Homo-oligomer: A and B are copies of this chain.
C-alpha cells in the first residue's frame, strides 16, 4: 500500500487517483486477484475507472517488478503484490484458492547441467496442487 505508492512515486511515476486505487486494492498477503477482480474492487472506490486503465496499470507494475503475474490453470491471469519476497504457490484444484508458500531447498539446484539443453536457466517456478480443507 503506501510503501508501494512511495516506491512507485520514487520511480518517477505520475500519481493519479486511478493508480492509487489499483495499488490499494493490491495490498496484503495471499492476495491473488484477476484483472477483472481488481477492476471490480477499484470501481467501488472510483466508479469511473476503466478496464483499460486497470490493465495498463497492472502491466506497468509488472514491468517495474512491483507485482508478479501468474497464469494459473484457469483462464485469467492473477496478480500477486508480494513481489519482494520470493515464494511459490499452492493452488486448490477444487475452488482455485491460492496460498503463498515457502518451500525449503532450491529447485534450480535439482536441474543437472545435462538436463539444461544449453539453456541459460535463470528461474524456477513451483506450483503445488491439492485440495484445500473445505474442498477435501
Contacts and interface: CB of A to CB of B under 8 A. Distances in A.
Contact of A116 (B90, B108, B123, B127): B90
Contacts of A92: 119
A117 to B, nearest CB: 5
How many copies the complex holds: the figure is 2
Interface residues of A, number: 38
B130 A121 contact: yes
Main secondary structure of the interface of A (DSSP, over half): mixed
Interface string A92-111: 11000001011111011011
Interface of A: 69, 71-73, 90, 92-93, 99, 101-105, 107-108, 110-112, 115-133, 136
Nearest to A124: B128
